[in-house]
Chain A
Amino acid sequence: MTQQIKWQLGTVVEIRQETPTVKSLVLDLPDWTAHQAGQHVDVRLTAEDGYQAQRSYSISSAPEDSNVSITVESVENGEVSPYLTGVLSVGDQLELRGPIGGYFVWNATSSNDGSPLLLVAGGSGIAPLMAMLRHRAALQTMLPTKVLYSSRSFEEIIFRDELDRLAAVDPSL
Chain B
Amino acid sequence: MAEKFISRGFVGRAREVASDRKDRVPPGQYETTEFPVLSAGPTPNVSLERWDFSIYGEIAEDLKWTWSDFQKLPSETVRADIHCVTKWSKLDTVWTGVSIDTLLQGVDLDSQSDVSYLVAFCDGGYTTNMPLVDVRGGKAWIVYEYDGRPLAPEHGGPVRLLVPHLYFWKSAKWVRGFKLVKDDRAGFWETAGYHNYGDPWKEQRYAGD
Contacts and interface: CB of A to CB of B under 8 A. Distances in A.
B5 A46 contact: yes
A47 B2 contact: no
A115 to B, nearest CB: 17
Interface string A97-124: 0001111100000000000000000000
A87 B40 CA distance: 33
B11 A47 contact: yes
Interface stretch (B97-105, B160-168, B201-209): B201-209
A52 interface: yes
A60 B15 CA distance: 32
Contact of B208 (A2, A45, A87, A93): A2
Contacts of A55: 87
Question: What range describes how many residues of B lie at the interface?
Answer: 20 to 34
A115 B79 CA distance: 46
Contacts of A101: 192-193
Contacts, number: 77
Interface string B6-44: 111111110100000000000111100000000010000
A5 B206 contact: yes
Contact of B189 (A1, A53, A103): A103
A4 interface: yes
Contacts of A45: 7, 10, 12
A170 interface: no
B12 A79 contact: yes
Given A79-B13, A103-B192, A9 B206 contact: no
Contacts of A5: 206, 208-209
B167 to A, nearest CB: 13
A100 B190 CA distance: 13
Contacts of B205: 42
A25 to B, nearest CB: 13
Interface of A: 1-5, 7-9, 42, 44-48, 51-56, 79, 83, 87-88, 92-95, 100-104
Contacts of B87: 54-56
A51 B206 CA distance: 22
A100 B193 contact: yes
Contacts of B29: 54
A92 B191 CA distance: 35
26 contacts: A5-B208, A7-B2, A9-B1, A9-B5, A42-B28, A45-B12, A46-B7, A47-B7, A47-B11, A47-B12, A51-B12, A52-B28, A54-B28, A56-B87, A79-B12, A79-B13, A83-B10, A87-B9, A88-B9, A93-B8, A100-B206, A101-B192, A101-B193, A103-B188, A103-B192, A103-B193
Given A55-B87, A83-B7, A44 B28 contact: yes
Nearest to B88: A55
